[in-house]
Amino acid sequence: MSNGDSAIGQAADAVEDASNAPALDVLARAGFAVMALLHIMVGGMAIAVAFGQPGDADITGALSQLVANPWGPVLMWAGVAACTGLALWQASEATVRARSLPGRERLGKLISSGFLAVAYGSVGLSFAGFAVGLRGDSGDSTRDFSAALMAHPAGLWLLVAVGLTTMGVGVYFVVKGLRQGFRAELFRFRGTRRGGLIDVLGVVGHIAKGIALNLAGLLFVIAAAKHRPEESTGLDGSLKALRDHPFGPALLVAIGVGFIAYGVFALVRARFGRM
């Protein structure tokens, strides 16, 4: 091994040691708890939308409710810290902690945990935006993002790529739920009655989240196919689009219940999950 390789290895070891710091684990667990709360709130709002109630059934809608209470600013900054910690923990999972895995598993971990790091980091940015008073509509933001992509020479294909990537992540969540791949994250309750209940929450929650992501991704693809970026409206728009279909309200309720199940699962993950 050359001196350069040795130095890189020592640096990677130092980064891995830092990623194992108790403080980062605490922040990451807090991040899981924050995501649990947001999913439960989004699930409740999806059910409300199914019955014709107003509101945004997405992260923005949940943050709008949280920031409106007297402790709103404190909650927003706490959310920034928790989601940033969780994003850093997922980034370490994707890189330095995956060094010892076989090639294919290491690549899979890089993709899955890397995507989650970006997703949790973006939620942290949303918390920061609300904390400093930058509160916008998620549907408008998604439409603006899609329009900006479409203005690029390769925008059509970029928008399709965004949609297919979102749908791919949705498929990942569905498969993870069906195969109970989440059980590796929670090993304490295996073989117990409580473990069986947690498995049900994990299956239902992951499948519901996967379906919702597929719907949101499909809107990106449709918007690209029609050259109409205004039709890409994110999670809230995709859920509200269901409401006008014959079985839409029932499906919305099912997705809402699934999001709540995922949120409860994430709470258990926050407390007892492998770190």
Q: Write out the DSSP string of 86-145.
A: HHHHHHHHHTGGGTTS-HHHHHHHHHHHHHHHHHHHHHHHHHHHHHTT----HHHHHHHH
- Return the pLDDT at 231: 54
- Return the pLDDT at 41: 93
- Return the pLDDT at 14: 47
Q: What's the mean pLDDT when you consider all of the chain?
A: 79
Closest CA to 117 of 79, 88, 95: 88
- Does 246 score more than 90 pLDDT? no
- Return the pLDDT at 245: 77
Q: Return the biggest CA–CA distance within the chain.
A: 67
- Write the pLDDT tens digit of every residue in 3-57: 444 544 444 454 555 556 778 889 999 999 999 999 999 999 889 888 888 777 7
More confident residue, 255 or 187: 255
**Exposure string (b/e) for 128-148, b if CB count within 10 Å is 16 or more?**
bbbbeeeeebbbeebbebbbe
In contact, 62 and 99? CB cutoff 8 Å? no
- Does 72 score more than 90 pLDDT? no
Range from 86-95, 106-115, 181-190 carrying the lowest mean pLDDT: 181-190
Calpha distance 126→79 (Å, rounded): 9
More confident residue, 222 or 123: 123
Q: What is the mean pLDDT of residues 231-260?
A: 78
- Return the pLDDT at 10: 45
- The enclosing H or E element of 55 equals none
- Return the pLDDT at 74: 92
User: Domain boundaries in the chain?
Assistant: 13-272
- Return the pLDDT at 263: 92
pTM, two decimals, is 0.81
In contact, 217 and 264? CB cutoff 8 Å? no
